[in-house]
Structure 1
Amino acid sequence: MGTAAMLRAAGVGFGDEVVVPSFGDVRVAEAVAQVGAIPVFADIDPGSYCLDAASVEAASTSRTAAVVAVHRFGRPADMAGLGLMGRRRGLLVLETGEPDEPPYEETARRRERAAYLDGRLRGVRIPEQGEGHTYQQYVVRVPGNGRPDRDAFARALRGRGVECWVPVKTPVHRMPGFRSCVSLPVTERAADETLALPVDASLTKRDLQRVVSACNALGGLLVGSTRSLGV
């Protein structure tokens, strides 16, 4: 069932507010608008990139009817924390996964490749491990001065033959049609620093070695001269 259908089935409609993440694609916010409700953006946890329960609670008002949590990059959202907050505030908490979730065998191979990178990458912040992580994307943080250094790092990796991509180019609260003055510092920092590296089940050990070699050569130039990656 799609997000709009879930909201309609729950009785969410015109004039209601629905808290959603800004870090990700625009489809969840569009689904909220489709049923006549108003998307309200909350910040994310810096490790999981999913909605932060405290930020959701802070963004909630008397008009808030529901929360839609999105599992991001294969990392599950904190449904226990969001559910507890929802019960306390009387809010409906819905969840949605990312499309095209890989089958079990592919997930197992992705986890093997992610573990290989986890143990060898230097100079970038590796993904936070968590129960149930399927590594649909292997998302690191690049140290430095935000977006300029991240983008330069990405170009340098591609120049060394390593595929990489920016997972979220523009947070939804900065997009036309959903532009908002809300302060989401963790979301904006994540959008400026994150970079996805290949972790496909088809990657060979040689491919992974190339990723590690290229990242470590570049990352080592940044670590000693830049601010901490901590949020």
Structure 2
Amino acid sequence: MSLAVHVAQPTSADMGTVEMLRAAGVGAGDEVIVSAYGNAEVAEAVVEAGAMPVFADIDPDTYCLSLEAVAAGVTSRTAAVVAVHRFGRHAEVAGLRELGERHGLLVLERHEDEQHSQDQGGLERRRAHAAYLSGRLSGVITPAGGAGHTYEQYVVRVPGNGRPDRDAFARAVRAKGVDCRVPVKTPVHRMPRFWRDVALPETERAADETLALPVDASMSRRELQRVVSACNALGGLLQPAF
């Protein structure tokens, strides 16, 4: 029987997830499926609990764990799955719960951006700002949207030949006075502490292409126009300098 537990935004050590895993008896000899697209706190929590993190690929639209990838990663040692809701999109929790029921897995949910939650008015303004940007941006791939998207971060893609294209685009946008940031610089499975020789193509593609543009509820129309102008003035993708 699976257990679906909502985990509040953890400390930097993600002790909430550690405690949930330990309380469920997850520990030495167990595997816990997690995403490599994000910060390392969840993988650290699995190690702290005494288990082994196993990385599964993400859905390219939601940036959350892919249900198909999780299902493919389940083994006789799998004890739990930790799904992180990312950028305001929710992981496919219903499917993960069904998978957990079939395999007897603990299913934990973690809200990455709970600290940014706002009242309904702020949420609607943020959604309106996201719609404004999505209707006017060119040269980037805008978010897929979807029911319930709260746009905690407005994440676009700058596709091309890899990281230099996205990074050059980001530098050019910042030079025009628009704050932007790379949400995930290095996938967890490529960090020295958690290095795994595993193919996670959607995770690595997202790490190379994604860029978070400002979409705060407090932004003015003029500020939104500045974001659009800065991005569209680049005339498409920038090529890396050699």
Q: What's the TM-score once normalised by structure 2's chain length?
A: 0.88
Post-superposition shift, 1:103?
Answer: 1.8
Q: 2:237 aligns with which of 201, 214, 222?
A: 222
SS of corresponding position for 2:198: coil
Query: Which residue identity does 2:229 align to in structure 1?
Result: S
Q: 1:54 aligns with which of 68, 77, 82?
A: 68
Gaps of 5+ in 2: 1-6, 8-15
Which 10-residue stretch deviates more, 148-157 or 92-101? Answer: 92-101
- For residues 96 and 102 of structure 1, the distance between their equivalents in structure 2, rounded to whole angstroms, comes to 14
For 1:86-97, what aligned pairs fall within 5 Å after superposition? 86-97=100-111
Match of 2:116 in 1: 101
Query: Which residue identity does 2:111 align to in structure 1?
Result: G
Gaps of 5+ in 1: 226-231
CA contact (8 A) 1:20 1:41 kept: yes
Q: 1:171 aligns with which of 171, 175, 187?
A: 187
Which 10-residue stretch deviates more, 97-106 or 172-181? Answer: 97-106
Match of 1:228 in 2: none
CA contact (8 A) 1:16 1:65 kept: yes
What is the total number of aligned residue pairs between the two structures?
223
**Aligned-pair identity (%):** 68
Deviations 1:152-172 (A, max 9, x none): 000100111111100000000
- For residues 19 and 222 of structure 1, the distance between their equivalents in structure 2, rounded to whole angstroms, comes to 35
SS of corresponding position for 2:192: coil
Post-superposition shift, 1:143?
Answer: 2.4
Match of 2:98 in 1: 84
- For residues 116 and 174 of structure 2, the distance between their equivalents in structure 1, rounded to whole angstroms, comes to 26
Query: Which residue identity does 1:222 align to in structure 2?
Result: L
Which 10-residue stretch deviates more, 40-49 or 129-138? Answer: 129-138
Match of 2:148 in 1: 132
Deviations 1:149-190 (A, max 9, x none): 000000100111111100000000011211111110100000
Post-superposition shift, 1:43?
Answer: 0.2
CA contact (8 A) 1:123 1:143 kept: no
For 1:1-231, what aligned pairs fall within 5 Å after superposition? 1=7, 2-98=16-112, 99-104=114-119, 105-218=121-234, 220-222=235-237
SS of corresponding position for 2:62: coil
Post-superposition shift, 1:217?
Answer: 1.9
SS of corresponding position for 1:144: coil
SS of corresponding position for 2:186: coil
Match of 1:229 in 2: none
Post-superposition shift, 1:93?
Answer: 1.4
CA RMSD of aligned residues (A): 1.5
Structure 1 segments, 4+ long, off by >6 Å, are: none
